[in-house]
A and B are shown apart, each in its own frame.
Chain A
Amino acid sequence: MLKMTHLSKVYRTEVVETYALRDFNINVNEGEFVAVTGPSGSGKTTFLTIAGLLETFTGGQYHLDGVEVSNLNDNERSRIRNEKIGFIFQAFNLIPDLNVFDNVEVPLRYRGMKAAERKERIMNALERVGLASRAKHYPAELSGGQQQRVAIARALAGSPRLLLADEPTGNLDTQMARGVMELLEEIHREGATIVMVTHDPELAARAQRNVHIIDGQVVDLAEDPRFHHAVTSARANTTA
């Protein structure tokens, strides 16, 4: 589904080159739930934005659903984002001027879908996240957990092949975070491929697989003993 090979991302200024990702390799299969972990500044979010075609990369190869994306133009990248990828952000990123219904509608509008089909998909997605009754509410009228559920509904409405989540529970309290996580797990059980960036070992433990990044490179989780221990403990608790 998602394959990056020897990928690098360099930010250049006149005096310095900074590697956000270096010789980065990852392969996510269809239907997998992968947690990408690592300390702050390790390159997790850069990986996610490149994976979501929101940012270009400097070297290497990236195949998304079998398509090498490095030579695609803006229109083609936008179309793939719209049709194949769903985003869930830490800060929800709902458009404050639009109500819940209109927020969920945004990606469907860019797909040129007819009104009736849009409405059906939106209501299905909102029912799925338990917010159908809040369709006419504005984001400011919802709790953080509800806003994140709207963001998930927005991501789901377009039936994407790949769901990219960047610290999806980072701005939520424990109870809300648990609800959102359960929702993601449910979506995964229904067959979606999910790549979730997190620095929370408990969330990472609930994914099928962990990919750990340090200094822009994928490393063995054992190289970060503290995090490794935290994930292992969390996983043991979950199993128990």
Chain B
Amino acid sequence: MMFAYYFQLGLRSLRKNPLLTALMVMAIGCGVAASMTTYSVFRATSNNPIPGKSSQLYVPLIDNWGPEDAAQNKGEPPDAMSYTDAMALMRDHRARRQTALYPVAPSVIPADASMLPVRESSYAVYADAFPMFDVPFLYGGGWQASDDAAHAPVVVIGRALNDKLFRGVNSVGREINLDGRNYRITGVMDTWDPQPLFFDPVNTSGFGDPVQLFIPFTRAIDLKMATNGNNNCNKHSGEGWDAWIRSDCVWIEYWAELPSVAEANAFRQYLHGYAAEQQRSGRFTWAPNVRLYDVPQWLEHEKVVPQEAKVSLLVSLGFLLICLVNTVGLLLAKFMRRAPEIGVRRALGASRKEIYAQFLIEAGTVGLVGGVVGLLLTGVGVFGVTLVFDPDIARLATLNGSLIALTLLVAVLATVLAAFYPTWRAAQVQPAWQLKSN
């Protein structure tokens, strides 16, 4: 009951000193808007893209280049795998599920001759990738391991591509032409846009368009589909496809699903053993240097959160702090001008606790209005993010329900926090002195 009364007094007080109120509201609004705008970018870039499984999916890395190259990268192995190592790991099949993957760029040739061929974000993967990455399906599903083994011409397409080619109807079982060859569609993905794009930050910097096409890795290799991503070599790979895939050039991402700590430890030992075996066989002339990163570690390793997102968040939080310090001063002026009222209220039975409640709720009211202004400015700020950040990142910064709630919450809490000192001073007002001086 008293909350409603104090809230009402707070609103009344806002109207009383419009200039002072406007200054406070703008200070809070600007501070909160700057923080929330940069936070929206930071949140999008540091989001956990697969929360249920982020600690069960691992990227193994094997140093197939040796310590000289590793030294240039703080001792880290290359962040992709050679075809030789990826295939060895696939053959050994030591994880619950595993897939090698790399980006490809086949042309999709529509059956409708009036439509031009299109290129969509595409990957060559193994069948395990779909359940591993929790890929949602609108129709059908991923292909089977037997299709991998048979190097089958099968494909999984995305919802947007299905809409484009088949007007959104169930296209499972129908065929799609890629680079002049027909593939049978086994599944149509529902909208799937994990951000960051955790399964391939190496080739996407962590952000990019949703994948619209998956084809079997084995089939892509058969067709000598070159990678559409990075291909890093520490020495000349030799001429031709066969020389390239036998080389130590790294261009394949490898993922293993290891649901328990024990399985992760066993896989780590296996990796070490594999590298040791390569050393014994003379392929590696250095001690095993392997890594096994889960999703958060992998995104951190790949520095997916842009440095400018971290810096701008820190700067804007500093700005919010300055705004709050100003708010402390303004609230102090506002509250102390009302010392006579405080004296009267104390005389009429208000305890210090009641004075605290009244003025903190009043500050919360200022914060709420500041939050609404901050919300409008955040909307403008989020729109303006495109001017500062990469478009792939900027498109992720959106003013959604949770950001709206957070903006209002931060504004109210920050203002209430700023009001503690002014309120404490208000509660210390000696009613006797105020009433005497009147």
Contacts and interface: CB of A to CB of B under 8 A. Distances in A.
Interface string B408-424: 00000000000000000
B235 interface: no
Nearest to B435: A89
A55 B432 contact: yes
A79 B348 CA distance: 9
Interface stretch (B176-184, B259-267, B306-314, B350-358): B350-358
A82 B349 contact: yes
Interface of A: 45, 49, 52, 54-55, 74-75, 78-79, 81-83, 87, 89-91, 93-95, 97, 106-107, 109-112, 154, 158, 166
Contact of B353 (A75, A91, A154, A158): A75
Nearest to B436: A45
A97 B430 contact: no
A81 B199 CA distance: 69
A81 B1 CA distance: 21
B85 to A, nearest CB: 73
B347 A54 contact: yes
A97 B12 contact: yes
Given A75-B353, A89-B438, A91-B438, A54 B346 contact: yes
A49 B436 contact: yes
Grouping DSSP codes into helix (H, G, I), strand (E, B) and loop, the B interface class, with mixed when no group exceeds half, is: helix
Nearest to B437: A91
Given A93-B438, A109-B5, A52 B347 contact: yes
Nearest to B427: A74
Interface residues of B, number: 26
Contacts of A45: 436
Interface in B389-436: 430-432, 435-436
A78 B354 contact: yes
A93 B340 CA distance: 8
Give the 5 A-B CB pairs with smallest separation, nearest first: A82-B349, A78-B351, A49-B432, A91-B438, A110-B349
B345 A93 contact: no
Nearest to A84: B349
A110 B438 contact: no
Given A49-B432, A49-B435, A49-B436, A87 B352 contact: no
Interface in B313-361: 340-341, 343-354
B2 A109 contact: yes
B433 to A, nearest CB: 9
